[in-house]
Chains A and B, each alone.
Chain A
Amino acid sequence: DSGVTQTPKHLITATGQRVTLRCSPRSGDLSVYWYQQSLDQGLQFLIQYYNGEERAKGNILERFSAQQFPDLHSELNLSSLELGDSALYFCASSVWLSLTAGACTTNEKLFFGSGTQLSVL
């Protein structure tokens, strides 16, 4: 058990709909990452939040949005769903350290949830 909780585990919906995926990070982790895993694209980074603020953005579509709440849980909102959005969506958390003196960050270890399998029919 990684300590990262994702709900729901499975989600079946129709094209054009909107869904919300939820992630609770490990206790004490301030950083949350969202990844999309599909057969043709592999594992793709979507977005990262750190302590409630967006930190980094990857290949996230404009139809998708995310946020991190004061209690550090995060939600990924997917709207106007298309067939191609069917994928496994992973959340990961980490302790993100910033050594400001050296302007260096470490991203040593991501703890992944079990994922939400989204099927768009």
Chain B
Amino acid sequence: AQSVTQLDSQVPVFEEAPVELRCNYSSSVSVYLFWYVQYPNQGLQLLLKYLSGSTLVESINGFEAEFNKSQTSFHLRKPSVHISDTAEYFCAVGTQDGSEKLVFGKGTKLTVNP
């Protein structure tokens, strides 16, 4: 079975500071990896994904994540955050074995303060 661990439940940072949201996974088969974002009072939206190829993936709003197979990690980073980045971020893993479900981490609440 797969599992996802998001080590930090809450991450407070100041505006324009860098941030890293950590995600580790475990799986016995090859995986797809995702980061979803949930803004207040909204559903989840896909932020970025790793399916294959380059291990560094980027989103349109400046976030990036790097797939590290040896460390089974998929940490999310942004060099300079905005107040509008305040949201909850979920890491998720899907397997390449024909199973359809995504297994989510418990989420990291990012709060960007002025």
Contact = CB atoms under 8 A, between A and B. Distances in A.
A68 to B, nearest CB: 13
A115 interface: yes
Interface in A39-71: 41-45, 48, 50, 55-56, 58
Interface residues of A, number: 30
Contacts of B36: 110, 112
B7 interface: no
Interface string A97-121: 0000001111111101111000000
Interface residues of B, number: 24
A49 to B, nearest CB: 10
Contacts of A33: 100-102
26 contacts: A33-B100, A42-B104, A42-B105, A43-B44, A43-B90, A43-B92, A43-B104, A43-B107, A44-B104, A45-B101, A45-B103, A48-B100, A50-B100, A56-B100, A96-B100, A104-B96, A104-B98, A105-B100, A107-B94, A107-B100, A108-B32, A110-B44, A112-B43, A112-B45, A113-B43, A115-B43
